[in-house]
Amino acid sequence: MAYTKEQIQEMIRQEAKKALATGEVSAVVGWTSTRFEDRTKPFFAETESECDLLVWNEYCINGTAKYALDDRYPEKKLAVIARGCDSRAINRLIQDKQVKRENLYIIGVACDGKDNPICKECQHKNPLTFDVLVGEEVEEQINADRFAEVLAFEKLTPDERYDYWAKQYDKCIHCYACRNACPACNCIECYADQYRTGWQGKAADREQNQVYGLTRVYHVGDRCIECGECERVCPMDLPIMRQTRKMLKDINDLFGDYECGLPDDRKPVLGEYKLEDPDEFM
Amino acid sequence: MARIGVFICHCGTNIASVVDVERVAESAKTMPGVVFATTYKYMCSEPGQAMIKESIEQYNLDRIVIGSCSPRMHELTFRKMLKGTKINPYMLEIANLREQCAWVHTDREKATEKAIGLVQMSVAKVANNKPLTTSTIPITKRALVIGGGIAGMQAALDIADCGFDVTIVEKEPSIGGHMVMLDKTFPTMDCSACISTPKMVECNAHPNITLKTSCEVEKVSGYVGNFEVTIKEKAKYVNHDLCTGCGLCQTKCPTKVTSEFDQGLSKRPAIYIPFAQAVPSKPVIDANACLKLTKDKCGICEKVCPIGAIDYKDEVSYTTEEYGAIVIATGYELVDWAEMYPEYGGGKYKDVITGLQFERLVNASGPTEGHIVRPSDGKEPKDVVIVKCVGSRDPKKGKSYCSRACCMYSAKHAHQILDKIPNSRVYIFYMDVRTPGKGYEEFYDNTRRDGAQYIRGRVSKIYKEGSKLIVRGEDSLIGKPVTVEADMVILATAMEPSPTVADVANKLGIAIDADRWVTEAHPKLRPVETQTNGIYLCGTCQGPKDIPDTVAQGSAAAAKVAALLCHDEMETSPMISFVDPNKCSGCGFCEGVCPYKAITMVEYAGRDGNRRVTKTVAQVNEGLCQGCGCCNAICRTGCIDLKGFTNDQILKEVDALCL
Amino acid sequence: MSVKKDNNWEPVILAFCCNWCTYTGADLAGLNRMKYPENVRVIRVPCSSRVNPQFIIRAFQKGADGVLVCGCHPGDCHYATGNYYTRRRFMLMKRLLEYNGIDPKRFQAKWISGSEAAKFRDTVIQVSAEIKALGPNTKFVGTYAPQNAVEGGQE
């Protein structure tokens, strides 16, 4: 029998308390309510009583994994309440050697789909990596069409595509929110912040935004876990996943089925090669 | 601020006839950082170089651009020239105004414009050059040869003759490899053991060679000139320092198991010297067969040994030694044909044998003392079928490559059968006959004249009827099926790399191809080098080949080793990657793409905000890095960069060309 | 340095060439006095795998009309495996640029060996003609000028 939201919420609170009670965990990252009924915010529960402020509902949309990078050299474990996407984000961070698995305590919880458009294409509602699972697993949707949007966009003419993106990048305010939310953007120092090498400018004009936009796709494209945080946090509503998914689609077309953040040892596509890869540069 | 000098070469009329060199020099004077620009007829000549040197002094230049022929031509010349000045040899860029401008264009105006662009690119780059210094690394004047077959022995002997210490590591209890198993060698029919055992003895006796039999390479670290190799010595259970090799133990041992040396055609005791001419000629105990070691019974060898050399408590031991160069010569094995070809009986017919088994049968020191008989009933065969390309040239079942030696040894086998067995008949099923080699075609012709019948086609089935083996195939030249009633079938099975090669290559950090052959640095021009400096290859670990080619490669590898070891130290290129450990996130992607295993992840005392923390960051081994820059482009932060081709320099080149 | 006049317009084409194959092939083209258009400028890199796709974006931003990346044929890389990574990187990059509205002809990659002087010439002639037909690139072109334009260095 499936559990109700309230039951799961209670179980999350209990697991959080248990984790804190071990003394090995500094805090539990989850969600808490806000003054708006249809919004939650990320929340660090550090005491038993704070655990009772953790909530579980369809508005728990913020990713929790990236908070593991707040302290890259922690003395205690961080407990993370992880849905499918959060667990993939954690795998991303582990595979990129940015956090150590032993520094995390993962409270897995199957996601029922949140009030977030990207959840419609989700293929991993159940957490893939966890220490304890709250509630029970849910049925995964198969054949979710991740690339429909990209396919449709590819049909436009080059000029239409350019104009579309130019308009989008005209809106961009170069705030780097997409970078800060992305679990694949985990460099200690981003290339974009390097002043002397001057990879790109910092001004929020169309061209410099374009350079940032393209470089961002290239940097994360083969490691993207498709959580959609970049797009969700964008204050100017840029369709960022439409860019990243393009690269993912090409990877799938050229090099075989490919998804990131799964608990396997597969290297990112650009970090390996096969002799029999397709070749169009002859 | 940089003080750049620009020197445009006329190259006689080579450049000046198409490019307006004076205009290029004038234009260069306006480029940022340029304090002096001039032209000269031949920049590479003595007076040209003297003029550059004078200008460096006169205008207090700290870096220069030379617009001349290709940097592939004179970059080294001009770097050498700078060694005598106050400018570092790497504060130089060359604009390619001859091969890539004057010689390929005719329009003077456009060519001059392009030349100005190229000079501008070089000026922008040189402004970002940093002085680089070559460092030297010492060279340990010792070599390690992995594999003691004919290839390894030849390489070891040649290196040792140059005066360098060599260690041969051989996994078997004796050196000698496959060659010593063979009976005669084509096309001269000289006795294989007679010409290979002197090499074995010489290896043993050579003052510069250390033999390490029953040993394997456990771990390799370091780089050219400075390898540190851990060698694992398997338990022999016989103290070879005491053993005199009298052989009494093996005559008394009650256990009998299949002989590897005789390819399963005879038995050997559990304590054994692999073959009569083995080097070292001292026994080892097969721990899997010995009653004492498996069941704690027997113990006869210990009792009979006159000097107490038997040691049942012997254990695996490890030694670590330093070497300057390594040669891999791990050789081949025959493919397991039984699995690939169930239609040939899949190994259930005793009289279907491999070429190597035939070598033991026909060998005077083999299990039958050289009498060719059927393994099943000991009778002399009259009708013998030889099947070529078993596993070779058969991508569906076996390997796509040709095993190269089979055509010749099959002809040799036919010749030996026809010679030794009166009224015998030999049928050879072949796809093509390939005899490229001195005296090879003549040998094949003679075999046909001897009476060997060559049938062009593959064999589809071998089955037994009574005591006969029925061989069915097709004669593709007449397009009709043929059936031969044979007494014995010899399969010319494909060579494949030794099963150990993948492991050894992995430890050495060298590449193997899809068929597991070791990949050479360049198939034509660097055939005995691997892409890792200081590691060389020879023999059949690189691909199927016959004895002459194998020996030639052994000597070639030795020459390469000697050319390295004859120096006390070597200069390393300064144009290699370097890491900014403070920016490195430690993701390790660079480590994964480096073809030379030059990047390792190390601990680094860094900072995280106000805290002192131990970070894990990438580090480049200067002895291993070859400066390809593959790691640079995969680093998102750009914290691993290439000296001489930094991100900064290339971005400035791009900017300068697009302006 | 080209003057962008409509009738007399010459494109700016950058070619990143690996030192061991294509750069050598380009030198050989010179040695054989082959002729090709002046608008291609070669940037020498040790290996095609040294070419960071960000260099390509930078070139377009700075107003390049076309970019070419050339290296050894797969299997022939001087550094054994570099061009296999190049192949993956730029097959994806090319598609991404195209997706963003850059004509695929403006960014091309080619394997040209040290002996293929004629292929180098033919490639340059072809790319040059294609880009001339397309006209000047206006996409992604910006005004960004990095600091320390003359003397840069590490942070």
Contacts of C109 (CB under 8 A, 6+ apart): A281, C48, C68, C69, C70, C71, C86, C87, C90, C94
**Residue-wise pLDDT tens digits, B423-451:** 999 999 999 999 999 999 999 999 999 99
What pLDDT is recorded for position B423? 95
Residue B471 near residue B383 (C-beta atoms within 8 A): no
For B183-237, write each residue's pLDDT tens digit. 999 999 999 999 999 999 999 999 999 999 999 999 998 889 999 999 999 999 9
Residue ranges of alpha helices (H) inside A96-185 are 148-154, 158-171, 177-181
Which chains neighbour B (Cβ–Cβ under 8 Å, 3 or more pairs)?
A: A, C
> Is C3 a residue whose pLDDT tops 60?
no
User: C104 near C127, Cβ under 8 Å?
Assistant: no
Give pLDDT, residue B241.
93
pLDDT band at A198 (very low <50, low <70, confident <90, very high): confident
pLDDT tens, residue by residue, B498-535: 999 999 998 998 888 889 999 888 888 889 999 888 99
Annotate A209-227 with b (16+ C-beta within 10 A) or e (fewer). bbbbbbbbbbbbbbbbbbb
Report CA-CA distances (Å) from B251 to B181, B277, B369: 22, 16, 19
Residue A19, pLDDT score: 95
- Taking residues C33-37, report their average pLDDT: 95
Task: Return the closest-CA partner of residue B420 out of B375, B341, B350, B361.
Answer: B361
| Closest Cα in chain B, distance from residue C36 (Å) | 6
DSSP lists the bridge partners of residue B473 as B459, B482
| In the predicted structure, residue A102 carries a pLDDT above the cut 60 | yes
CB contact under 8 A, A199 and C54: yes
Mind listing the pLDDT tens digit for each residue in B1-44?
Answer: 799 999 999 999 999 999 999 999 999 999 999 999 999 999 99
- In contact, B142 and B204? CB cutoff 8 Å: no
The DSSP bridge pattern shows strands B453-456 and B425-430 to be parallel
How many angstroms away from the CA of A242 is the closest CA of chain C? 10
* Mean pLDDT in residue range C52-67: 94
For B508-513, the CB contacts below 8 A with 24+ separation are B508/B217, B508/B220, B508/B326, B508/B328, B508/B532, B508/B535, B509/B220, B509/B596, B509/B597, B510/B328, B510/B535, B510/B537, B511/B595, B511/C80, B511/C81
pLDDT at C7: 64
CB contact under 8 Å between A281 and C144, yes or no, is no
Q: Which fold has domain C13-134?
A: Rossmann fold (3.40.50)
CA B34, B35, B40, B42 dihedral sign is negative
Confidence of residue C106 (pLDDT cuts 50, 70, 90): very high
User: What pLDDT is stored for residue B148 in this prediction?
Assistant: 97
- For residue A155, the chain C residues in CB contact (below 8 A) are none
Tell me the CA distances in angstroms from B581 to A189, B596, B604, one per residue in order.
11, 20, 7
B4-9 vs A132-134, strand pairing mode: unpaired
CA B415 vs CA B187, B404, B643: distances in Å: 11, 19, 63
Determine the Cα–Cα distance for residues B37 and B109; give it in Å rounded to an integer: 20
**In angstroms, rounded to a whole number, what is the distance separating the alpha carbons of residues C47 and C56?**
15
Q: Which residues of C touch A161 (CB under 8 A)?
A: 99-101
Q: pLDDT tens across B376-408, in order? A: 999 999 999 999 999 999 999 999 999 999 999
Can you tell me the mean pLDDT for C103-119?
A: 94
Q: How confident is the model at residue A200 (pLDDT cuts 50, 70, 90)?
A: confident
Nearest to B209 by CA among B218, B220, B201: B201
User: Using CA atoms, how far apart are residues A199 and B637, in angstroms rounded to an integer?
Assistant: 10
Record the tokens describing residue B510, joined without a space.
Answer: 């060298």
Q: Which two tokens stand for residue A171?
A: 């809106």
Q: What is the pLDDT of residue A143?
A: 73
Scanning every residue of chain C, which has its alpha carbon at the shortest distance from the alpha carbon of A246? Answer: C96
Partner residue opposite A73 with nearest CB, options B583, B584, B608: B608
Question: Is it the case that residue B453 has pLDDT exceeding 80?
Answer: yes
Q: Which residues of C touch A279 (CB under 8 A)?
A: 74, 87
Contact C144 A208 (CB under 8 A): yes
CA distance linking residue B94 with residue B50, whole number of Å: 17
The number of residues in chain A equals: 282
CA B220 to chain C, closest CA, distance in angstroms equals 21
Between chains, do C74 and A279 touch, taking CB under 8 Å as contact? yes
Q: Is the pLDDT of residue C4 over 80?
A: no
- The residues with which B5 forms a beta bridge, in sequence order, are B36, B64
Give the lowest-confidence range in A195-204, B304-313, B531-540.
Answer: A195-204
**ipTM > 0.90, yes or no:** yes
> Which B residues in the span 519-538 are in contact with C, Cβ-Cβ below 8 Å?
519, 521, 531
What residues of C are in contact with residue B595 (Cβ under 8 Å)? 79-82
Which chain C residues are Cβ-neighbours of B638 within 8 angstroms?
52
What is d(CA C16, CA C21) in angstroms, rounded to the nearest whole number? 12
Chains in contact with C, counting 3 or more C-beta pairs less than 8 Å apart as contact:
A, B
Return the structure tokens found at B652: 């400035």
Hey, are the CB atoms on A197 and C152 less than 8 Å from each other?
yes
The domains found in chain B, sorted by start residue, are 4-126 (3.40.50), 143-225+323-331+504-568 (3.50.50.60), 235-315 (no CATH), 333-496 (3.50.50.60), 577-643 (3.30.70.3270)
Q: For tokens 């060279």, what's the residue?
A: B139
Helix axes C22-31, C117-134, angle to 10 degrees: 100
AA letter at C6: D
Chain B interface, best mutation among C5, C18, C49, by max B CB count within 10 A: C49
C52 interfaces chain A, CB cutoff of 8 Å: no
Segment holding B117, helix H or strand E: helix B108-126
Q: What is the pLDDT of residue A197?
A: 76
Token reading at B15 = 């450049």
- Could you tell me if A187 lies within 8 Å of chain B, comparing CB atoms? yes
Residue A88 C-beta-side C-alpha neighbours within 13 Å: 22
Q: CB of B280 within 8 A of CB of B243?
A: no
CA distances from A49 to A17, A52, B214, B288 (A): 8, 6, 67, 65
Average pLDDT over residues A15-39: 95
To the nearest whole number, what is the mean pLDDT of chain A? 93
Indicate the residue of B583, B585, B637 with minimum beta-carbon distance to A98.
Answer: B585
Determine the angle formed by the axes of helices B71-83 and C22-31, rounding to 10 degrees: 100
Nearest of A26, A155, A138, A22 to residue A79 by alpha carbon: A26
Where are chain C's structural domains? 13-134
Among candidates A197, A267, A268 on the partner chain, residue whose Cβ is nearest the Cβ of B647: A197
